[in-house]
Structure 1
Amino acid sequence: MPGYLEVLIILFVALLLFGNRLPNVARSLAQGIVEFRKGLKGEPENQEEKKALPPAGGQQAHGIPQGTQGGANAQGSQPPPPAQQQDPS
């Protein structure tokens, strides 16, 4: 079993080799833990997205008059008629 001095030397060499990357690794690890905890709780990823969603109950979207919302009966929802082909002769 390695002694304390050997472990300290190995940690020091690892710090010299990977010292520049350690802050990025720690940041990524912390973000992963936070996302995992949010996933366990079932919270939405962004609270602003939750607030931006319109409440259910038949309210119309802002800026669209009530009679012009799209649907199956709206004009322009039908595809254009097929184009007529001409003979190349």
Structure 2
Amino acid sequence: MRNKKENVREVFPATIDRLKERAHDAGVTLTDVAIAGELGISEQTFEFYYQKDKAPAEIFHLMREKYKKFIGTLYIERMIFTDEPDDSDLDDEDLEND
């Protein structure tokens, strides 16, 4: 498993969609039910992860093990920026409107 990077998380729906796409290209049809079963999670849990775009790192790791020939070392990640407004960025016009 890779080291977790700060402010970066994997994207569950995009990973699943890419898995299905690559499997289809190889002549294999994968369904959500089949993937959930292979990962050892319920259909409801799978759907929750898909809709909320959150899944434990272990699920991604297991997915890469189970579907190595389709996604191998594929990582689809989203960077999360948490910049807070800096008061020094206010210009004179902003100050006049206060």
User: Between Structure 1 and Structure 2, which shows a larger proportion of helix residues?
Assistant: 2
User: Between Structure 1 and Structure 2, which shows a larger proportion of strand residues?
Assistant: 2
TM-score by length of 1: 0.22
Higher RCO (C-alpha under 8 Å, 6+ residues apart): 2
Q: Greater CA radius of gyration, 1 or 2?
A: 1
